[in-house]
Amino acid sequence: MRIVFCWVLLLAACYLVDQLGDQVANVVRLDYISVAMNVGLLMLGAWLSGLMVARVGLPRVSGYLLFGLLVGPFALNLIDDKQGEGLRFAGDLAVSLIALTAGGEMNWNWLKDQIGKLFTIAGVVIVVVWVGVSGVVYVGSAWIPFLAEQPDAVRVVAAVLIGVIAAANSPAIVMAVINESNAEGPVSRTSLAVTICKDMAMVVVFAATITLCRVMVDDSASLSGGFLLAVAVQLIGSLAVGAAIGAAMALYVRGVGAHLVVFIIGCCMLIALVGEQAFTVGGQSIHFEPLLMGLAAGLIMENLWSEVTDPLFHEIESVSLPVFCLFFGAAGAQLQLGVFGEWRVLVVLLILVAVRLATVWGSCVIAGRMVKLDKAWRGRLWLGFVPQAGVALALVLLSEKALGDAEWVQEMKALLLGMVAVNMLLGPLGLRWALARSGEVDARKPASAGVTTSTA
Amino acid sequence: MTLLAAASESSTGLRILLGLAVLVALALAGSSRSVLPLRKSPIGKILMTGGWVSVGIGLILGPGVIGLLDLEHVMVLRPLVLFCLGWVGLMVGLQLRMELPKMLPARTWRAVAADSVICMIVLGAVAFAILSYGMRGVVEHLGMEHHVTAVILAGVLAASGIGWSAETRSIVGNRPHLKKAAGALRVVSGMSSIVAVLVYGVLFMLIPHGDLMREPEALTRLLPTFGIGLTVSLTIAVVCGLLGFWMMTIAGRGNSEFLVVLLGLVALFAGAAAMMGASALFVGMCVGVVIVNMPGKTLMKFQRVILEAEHTIAMALMLTAGVLADPFLTWWMWGLVLALVAARMLVKTSISRRELVQMEPSASNTAVTVGPLRQAPLGIAMATGFGISVHAVATDEAINHTIDGSLITGNQLVMIVVMVGLLSEFSPLVSRMIHPERWVVSRDEDAGDQVITTDDVPAAEGTE
């Protein structure tokens, strides 16, 4: 009851301030004024919501997302679209922190043994989902409202893009569910590792796809020979920069070792900011990937300076919860649900989600047999690849940016955002169920956090 | 220069991080053994104990010197600065337990009251006189009424002078016979900080948004709004305080959960204060007062975490103050600085001799009497809060096209408070020259220099 009471009081207080502020404050309401209060509202409200849903057996992440949805533009509108944009830094912080944590979870010896299997699974999932979803979208394009009247080239482009975005999934949600469940075991380990491998592969796949799609729809665009070089620089550069950051972090912990929370947040922001800087290589505009940089940094620290950086990872664990609450709360507030208002598009959306689920499941069946995964748990692995969040959203926005503002692009974007919203809300439920059925919930020993020993 | 050229073309975020990286690098260098002799020198102690190094770095990085960071960057980080101000306010409020009036002797409260009232009257009068003189040109050039603005700004300057620095180690050292006096100094400093934030918080909500500068009659129109705003702000503070307490009990012993509650709470009330046009310092203090008077043991962990971050928060605020401070003051503003320093010396010397010595006779004719002369770092926090407030921005916009410096900007106000504080920090040095006998350390005390006793409050570089 205390949790519910606090939750109601929090919402009431923020609502009061939002309504009265304009009337009693003798100030100009500037955009950044609301950021601090929104951060507090999301952090506390998401946390309380997570506690409430956990009482009924749901993953806390679902609570965080639902709270964001509640205070967002489609419900209470305590955080409107513009204010939601002001919280973008939360996403940058979260991606970097998650990548650091994920890197810290990976034992190099285990990775060396499993890398072939992981990339095989990742490759199969990407290819099967991509081909499957693209195929269904292309075949059904005559019945999709925004594609029915379009030329064949546009239908192909739309199908291919929808397919590739359907293949992406969210390391953030996977990490968050694993953390809150205190999970340890083959399903959690493999889900996270494959998701990260998929993300690495998606950098190449998406870059190639979007370049080809642009050429198909835009007569002025052309293929550049430096494309492969650009992608290679992006991948290798991200890993190299990340490794350097990891070494610097280890040096700080060894030399100073104080104010670690502030230091971690500063490093995460540094990774995010470095990721925003664009370079031109081989005629292509590239930037280093925060996810890869954070991963490399975490990996380096965990495997080369494990004892030195233990306190750092311990603090990262403490900081993760506030960051997750803020990130997923903000993600929930930015969910675009407009697509649910049009029944024809809604039907297309539901079919798309169903096809995606089916292809994800099918790809894991195929991949599991190829790499001979243990039958005891391989049937549940696919649930780790259902959740979508930041990565998929970023790909949607990149697609829009690359293809321009034609009406079909906007409608495709709305459909994709709807797909991501559904997968964002349903994904954590499925993954949590899979971890529970596999007996991995609460299996993590406190002293072994950050060290993986058994193999998938 | 290459680095600066690159930085000038890079994104806002990178420049901010570059600035922070410079601060961290200098902080690391400053903590190294090779710099220890410099830190132990009289000048070094002054610069270190008041957080003035951070202010200096901010000044150098700010628009007045190198220009790596400017007001735009500070505004981007305004939510973070609000957060820091809220944190400081919380720390101030956590001192005010309800049983304090019974615990502390009447002489303590008398000292607090005397200091507060005399500061407001004397420093306020000095500031008002000079501000009115300096701003008189506004009436001629822009048709603005300046007296009301001068009253409020003088009030802010006077409020920043209430109390004094609670850091005592640099003036008391390890002399056992001065520990009680040092304790009295800290207690009065703590209680005075509450009064200072209270006065500042009320004035903050009165600071004009241009209306009062044009028509003094607007004051009667704005007063009801001010009253409602103050009431709502206090209500929000009480609600946040209760929420904070209940959520801490829900969080239990979990470190992560505790961090969520703490960070979320401070962000919430600091942001809510800004939305209501109130001071995050003031609202934070009220929240702290509510929390500290709730029953239970969760408070101990809360206080510990709050105090552990004090140094970092102080550094951040000092750096911000340095960036905000406009080093280009007009002649009458420098006159204001010197006048305030002189007035401060007179007032605090009087308070020290009468009230402090009456409270603790052992303080008489010792180095402890210098303590009240040093400005509380809270004054810098107040000036920073004013400097980044919407009012200050609006005021700057209103007078963009003046002129002969006949109106003071928020950035200049910050600089004035910084300079008053910095000059006040030299009082121990001056006292050593005038009364060297008060600073002599006996052989026995010297031998105990390396011993840290439980009575010694670890003096943070910044605030206490």
Residues in contact with B9: Cβ distance below 8 Å, sequence separation at least 6, in sequence order:
none
CA–CA dist B365, B343 (Å, integer):
21
B373: closest CA among B155, B156, B119, B195? B119
Shortest Cα distance, chain B CAs vs residue A18, angstroms: 8
* Residue in chain A lying closest to B239 (CA): A13
Name the residue among B211, B232, B263 with its Cβ closest to that of A43.
Answer: B263
3 state SS of A101? helix
Tell whether B270 lies on the interface with A, counting CB pairs under 8 A: yes
Backbone angles phi, psi at B456, to 5 degrees: -75, 125
CA–CA dist A234, A288 (Å, integer):
6
Mutation target vs B (from A17, A42, A87; most B CBs, 10 A cutoff): A17
A286: closest CA among A244, A227, A240? A227
Between B47 and A166, residue with greater pLDDT: A166
The answer to whether B376 touches B166, Cβ cutoff 8 Å, is yes
Contact A26 B265 (CB under 8 A): no
Mean pLDDT in order along chain B per 10 residues (464 residues) = 41 64 63 61 66 84 79 76 92 88 84 92 93 74 65 88 84 73 85 93 73 59 77 90 91 84 93 88 94 79 78 84 86 92 91 78 72 87 83 51 57 90 83 70 46 35 38
pLDDT of residue B448: 41
Tokens of B460: 């943070």
Name the residue among A2, A41, A273 with its Cβ closest to that of B250.
Answer: A2
CB contacts, 8 Å: A262 with chain B: 312
Q: Residue A286 has what DSSP assignment?
A: E
CA–CA dist A263, A297 (Å, integer):
14
Tokens of A342: 């049009």
CA–CA dist A61, B294 (Å, integer):
31
pLDDT of residue B8: 44
Report which secondary-structure segment, H or E, holds A285. strand A284-286
The answer to whether A120 touches A190, Cβ cutoff 8 Å, is no
pLDDT of residue B12: 63
Locate tokens 């509510």: which residue?
B290
pLDDT of residue A51: 94
Shortest Cα distance, chain A CAs vs residue B163, angstroms: 29
Tell whether B76 lies on the interface with A, counting CB pairs under 8 A: yes
Average pLDDT over residues A13-28: 72
Name the residue among B242, B263, B271 with its Cβ closest to that of A34.
Answer: B271
A233 — pLDDT class (breaks 50, 70, 90): confident
Contact A28 B239 (CB under 8 A): no
* Residue in chain B lying closest to A13 (CA): B236
pLDDT of residue B49: 65
Backbone angles phi, psi at A285, to 5 degrees: -90, 120
Q: Which residues 108-127 in chain B show a CB within 8 A of chain A?
A: none
Contact A40 B266 (CB under 8 A): yes
CA–CA dist A182, B453 (Å, integer):
43
For the stretch A277-301, pLDDT in tens is 777 777 667 778 888 899 899 989 9
The answer to whether B434 touches B61, Cβ cutoff 8 Å, is no
User: By mean pLDDT, which of A156-165, A211-220, A221-230, B422-431 is the weakest?
Assistant: A221-230
CA–CA dist B460, B464 (Å, integer):
6
The answer to whether B386 touches B205, Cβ cutoff 8 Å, is no
Contact A319 B277 (CB under 8 A): no
Backbone angles phi, psi at A444, to 5 degrees: -80, 130
CB contacts, 8 Å: A33 with chain B: 78, 271, 274-275, 390
pLDDT of residue B458: 36
pLDDT of residue B282: 94
Q: How far, in Å, are A147, B337, B444 from residue B449 at the CA level?
A: 82, 36, 9
Whether A112 has a pLDDT exceeding 70, the answer reads: yes
CA–CA dist B30, A27 (Å, integer):
41
Tell whether B75 lies on the interface with A, counting CB pairs under 8 A: yes
Q: How far is CA B359 from the centre of its chain?
A: 25
Mutation target vs B (from A14, A18, A26, A319; most B CBs, 10 A cutoff): A26
Tell whether B176 lies on the interface with A, counting CB pairs under 8 A: no
Residues in contact with B251: Cβ distance below 8 Å, sequence separation at least 6, in sequence order:
B257, B258, B260, B261, B298
| Helices within A106-185 (DSSP H only) | 108-139, 152-166, 171-181
pLDDT of residue A384: 93
pLDDT of residue B303: 76
A153 — pLDDT class (breaks 50, 70, 90): confident
Mutation target vs B (from A23, A27, A32, A33; most B CBs, 10 A cutoff): A27
CA–CA dist A175, A183 (Å, integer):
10
Tokens of B150: 């001068």
With 0-12 CB in 10 A as exposed, 13-18 as middle and 19+ as buried, what is B411? buried
Contact B391 A27 (CB under 8 A): yes
Out of 3.40.30, 1.10.287, 2.50.20, 1.20.1530, the CATH code matching B52-437 is 1.20.1530
Locate tokens 């902080």: which residue?
B27
Residues in contact with B430: Cβ distance below 8 Å, sequence separation at least 6, in sequence order:
none
Shortest Cα distance, chain B CAs vs residue A253, angstroms: 12
Name the residue among A29, A259, A321 with its Cβ closest to that of B256.
Answer: A321
Average pLDDT over residues A111-121: 86
Q: Residue B452 has what DSSP assignment?
A: P
CB contacts, 8 Å: A269 with chain B: 13, 17
pLDDT of residue A44: 95
pLDDT of residue B30: 59
The answer to whether B413 touches B383, Cβ cutoff 8 Å, is yes
pLDDT of residue B338: 94
What's the residue count for chain A? 456
3 state SS of B458? coil
Shortest Cα distance, chain B CAs vs residue A439, angstroms: 24
| Side chain identity at residue B56, one-letter code | G
Shortest Cα distance, chain B CAs vs residue A29, angstroms: 7
Name the residue among B11, B75, B228 with its Cβ closest to that of A32.
Answer: B75
A366 — pLDDT class (breaks 50, 70, 90): very high
Q: Residue B368 has what DSSP assignment?
A: G
B83: closest CA among A97, A284, A322? A322
Shortest Cα distance, chain B CAs vs residue A392, angstroms: 25
Q: How far, in Å, are A293, A389, B80, B165, B234 from residue B378 at the CA level?
A: 40, 43, 17, 8, 21
Whether A25 has a pLDDT exceeding 60, the answer reads: no
Contact B259 A256 (CB under 8 A): no
Tell whether B218 lies on the interface with A, counting CB pairs under 8 A: no
Contact A13 B243 (CB under 8 A): yes
Shortest Cα distance, chain A CAs vs residue B303, angstroms: 17
B406: closest CA among B157, B71, B139? B139
Residues in contact with B387: Cβ distance below 8 Å, sequence separation at least 6, in sequence order:
B321, B324, B410, B411, B413, B414
User: How many CA within 13 A on the CB side of residue B391?
Assistant: 30
CA–CA dist A129, A362 (Å, integer):
9
The answer to whether A170 touches A195, Cβ cutoff 8 Å, is yes
Tokens of B261: 């509650």
| Side chain identity at residue A406, one-letter code | A
Tell whether B396 lies on the interface with A, counting CB pairs under 8 A: no
Whether A397 has a pLDDT exceeding 90, the answer reads: no
Name the residue among A34, A256, A276 with its Cβ closest to that of B11.
Answer: A276
Shortest Cα distance, chain A CAs vs residue B14, angstroms: 6
CA–CA dist A22, A405 (Å, integer):
35
Query: CB contacts < 8 Å between A and B, how many?
Result: 168
Q: How far is CA A251 from the centre of its chain?
A: 29
pLDDT of residue A449: 40
pLDDT of residue B143: 55
DSSP states of B351-417? HIIIIIHHH-GGGTTSGGGGGGGSPPTHHHHHHHHHHHSHHHHHHHHHTTT--SS-S--HHHHHHHH
| Helices within A25-151 (DSSP H only) | 33-55, 60-71, 81-85, 88-105, 108-139
Most confident of A54-58, A327-331, B207-211, B285-289: B285-289
* Helix-strand-coil split of chain A, %, nearest 5: 75, 0, 20
Backbone angles phi, psi at A56, to 5 degrees: -105, 20
Tell whether B428 lies on the interface with A, counting CB pairs under 8 A: no
Contact A28 B209 (CB under 8 A): yes
Domains in chain B: boundaries: 52-437
Contact B260 A43 (CB under 8 A): yes
